[in-house]
Amino acid sequence: MIDSIKSLSHQFAADTVATRRHLHAHPELSFNEYNTARYVADQLRAIGLNPQEGVANTGVVALIEGTKTGAGRVIGLRADMDALPIREANDVSYKSTVEGVMHACGHDAHTASLLSTARILQTLRNEFSGIIKLVFQPAEEKAPGGASLMIKDGVLENPAPGAMLGQHVAPNIPVGKIGFREGMYMASTDEIFMTIKGKGGHGAMPDQLIDPVLIASYIIVAMQQIVSRNRPPASPSVLSFGRFIADGITNVIPNEVKIEGTFRCMNEQWRAEGLHRIQKLAEGMAEAMGGICEFERVKGYPYLQNHPELTRRTRASTVAYMGIENVVDLDLWMAGEDFAFYSQIVDSCFYRLGTRNESRGITSGVHTPTFDIDETALEIGPGLMAWLAVEELGKE
């Protein structure tokens, strides 16, 4: 079936590119993917499917049922649809038409790719048994994550997938190559917000003040020992602070300081313990220095675990489809991804589709104003995902 799938992926390549460019030019932010969802549903209806709209408000789900004799399994395929609040700097014909909003993480490519995967599988439905569940998901970029909301709306039920596959563009991997990693792959993501309160005043009279700038500085430095001295050595973890607002002037100490940061790890037990220690240290140190720390944690995504056996199978199937020279190993990545919610419930594999092309200057990372992809990847992605799904349908 490989040849048939490759032929169809090639046949649909122009449509895949056109779809991606349409989505790229009309991006929508997390939880607001109304036009995108309608577009996706219309495309699915055009190939004879009956999509379910409004899942988690803007999500779309559809089923492709194989007609070949046999029980088969249920395999879920996921693409995310939301864009980012970034002003695009690329000068291309499909540049974003929405000021300050851009598909800077490749979700346009994911959605376009899965739509063409659907076309391939619908065309070949007489060649397999089982069910393919297409999941077009909103709000990957914003907590609590569209995946968690779709799960609450029953996306992993009726029918329940025996495995979930997700694909993400990779601007650090050359186009034509696919990346895999078994086990721990991406980190949990929690956001930390602290307001350190003291007593401000004239900088020349520190003895009459409770300096929140000094307190906040000590807290940030001291917190690093939580990761370095308390984290299990085999468990990757990062604590970073990217926002520190002390809105005084040269000789005025403010009444309060605001700090914002992120805590990331790959162990749920350490995640809970680390956050407890972070809060306890911040509140205790502020109190010991005469101030107050108001601490808020915004719970993010869990860590992403690629099921080892499933990942080994999908890797082997990719070798059969692409050749061993085009399959690469991935490093641990401390970024977050809400596909992790699926991976905590059902056997899952999240792999990377190479989109880098240095000769064409396509090298920018995700979440940057100049991000783009080599669109030849859009002939590879749909066919590969279709092949992986069909292969998994035949597994016990």
Beta bridge pairs of residue 262: 191, 240
Residue entry with tokens 């101030």: 291
The encoded tokens of residue 54 equal: 């409004």
Q: What angle do CA 182, 358, 12 make, to 5 degrees?
A: 70
Are 159 and 133 in contact by the 8 Å Cβ rule? The answer is yes
Q: Is 140 a catalytic residue?
A: yes
The encoded tokens of residue 202 equal: 């004239």
Q: Is 379 a catalytic residue?
A: no
Name which of 93, 100, 80, 85 is nearest 17 in CA terms. 93
With H, G, I as helix, E, B as strand and everything else as coil, classify residue 214: helix
Are 164 and 347 in contact by the 8 Å Cβ rule? The answer is yes
Residue 287 CB contacts under 8 Å (≥ 6 apart), including other chains:
293
Q: What Å distances lie between residue 286 and 89, 196, 197, 348, CA to CA?
A: 43, 7, 8, 43
Catalytic pick from 82, 88, 141, 338?
A: 82
Catalytic pick from 28, 108, 140, 391?
A: 140
10 Å CB burial of residue 60 (0-12, 13-18, 19+) is buried
CA 126 to chain centroid: 33
Are 257 and 212 in contact by the 8 Å Cβ rule? The answer is yes
d(CA 163, CA 77): 9
Q: Which helix (H) or strand (E) holds 173?
A: strand 163-174
Helix ranges, the chain (H)? 2-11, 13-25, 34-46, 107-123, 146-152, 212-230, 268-288, 308-322, 340-343, 377-393
Residue 341 CB contacts under 8 Å (≥ 6 apart), including other chains:
145, 147, 148, 151, 301, 302
The encoded tokens of residue 159 equal: 């029918």
- The sign of the torsion formed by the CA atoms of 380, 381, 386, 391 equals positive
DSSP state of 220: H
List the catalytic residues: 82, 140
